[in-house]
Amino acid sequence: MSSASKNPIALALAVILCAVGFQVDPLLAETAATPKAGGDLAFWEELAFWETIKDSKDPSEFEAYLAAYPDGRFARLAEIRIRSLNGRPPGDTENATIPPEPTRNAEANTDDRPTDVVTTTAQGTFRDCDLCPLMVAVPAGTFIMGSDRHRPDEKPEHAVTFAEPFAIGVYEVTLAEWDACLREGGCWFSPEEGAGSELPVGNVSWDDAQAYTAWLSNKTGQSYRLPSEAEWEYAAGGGSTTAFWWGDDAGTGNANCSDCGTRRDASGPSPAGSFAPNPFGLHDVHGNLWEWTMDCVNRSYEGAPADGSAWLRGDCVARMLRGGSWNLESEYMRTTRRNHYDRDVRYYLHGFRVARSLP
């Protein structure tokens, strides 16, 4: 047996370095923290260490990571996992509580916050259960998706028509809402337990988000899902044709991004509802966290659906993300900007909001 096969960290590093040599597109999302092509060996060694322990149930392994990398890229997650493993396990329902309402911007409308299901109409908000995300109805309509002025994957511009209204989350799914899924056994990964419950849940893979929507569907009897790319872009734009729902200039005080001038927390996303809603009533569609969508990866919009449905042909090992994130520039959070990532990989800049059809 080789020395590498006896050492799981060395073996993981070998696998990662091998993958780097054969992969056309980088596995890591676009971020200033991504190592340059050609290799930051220290980064890959740290990543190999983390990959061997990230799903461990032994807090000592995360303590070992912190000892080796006290200022590492995953140090905050390691600290959270230690707290989680030394405290209440995710499956413990004995002390379950209803998550608090997310923090809202002072400009946000707080007059329509029902605690039970209400009949929805265009622009109406509702919640299907006390633990469920607050949803808003987005009206039917037609919009021009994509942009011929920017990146190749945003072309060509094309008309998309929604024959019926649909519902989408007012906020990105929060830690409080995710914890409800953990307590009831629908979700099994605890990415940031111990952080503020009003924060959006991050470090979740597309598969994790699918588990959450399956749990939510089973709990409510409704068909919850991730939004399609078209639904996301239509809802995020709020009827605008500009780079952001409020205009072409990122400005100040509109979102959490690295050059937005309003970062609430230099090391993470802002609480749900920290910024004003768009005309459809959605918060935080720009910046904060990249949001998973249902769609497979396609390098342009040639052949894309025109009815707003998810594009489930193409590279379906990876899935599309939208909206940018807190540690990237405003260019990344344009309404039409696209990104993608492997569906089974967890990354700290990735979150999601949910959607569902209306009766």
Taking a C-beta distance cutoff of 8 angstroms, is the pair 335, 143 a contact? no
Q: Inform me whether the pLDDT recorded for 342 exceeds 80.
A: yes
CB 297 within 8 A of CB 261: no
Q: How far apart are CA 13 and CA 48, in angstroms?
A: 5
- Sheet containing 224-225: order of strands: 125-126, 135-138, 166-169, 355-357, 224-225
Digit-coded pLDDT (tens) for 62-116: 788 788 888 776 776 777 667 667 753 333 333 333 334 444 443 333 333 333 3
pLDDT over 90, % of the chain: 59
Band of the pLDDT at 192, cuts 50, 70, 90? low
Q: What is the pLDDT of residue 7?
A: 54
Residue 200 vs residue 114, higher pLDDT: 200
- Number of neighbouring beta carbons within 10 Å of residue 191: 24
Domain boundaries in the chain? 3-86, 125-357
Report the pLDDT value the prediction gives residue 335, as an integer from 0 to 100. 98
Residue 117, pLDDT above cutoff 50: no
Helix (H), strand (E) at residue 316:
strand 315-322
Backbone angles phi, psi at 143, to 5 degrees: -145, 165
Residue 72: which of 37, 32, 44, 30 has the closest Cα?
A: 44
> pLDDT digits over 121-161, tens only?
335 899 999 989 999 999 999 999 999 999 999 999 999 99
pTM of the model: 0.68
Identify the CATH number of the domain defined by range 125-357. Answer: 3.90.1580.10
Question: By percentage, how much of the chain surpasses pLDDT 70?
Answer: 72
Length of the chain: 359
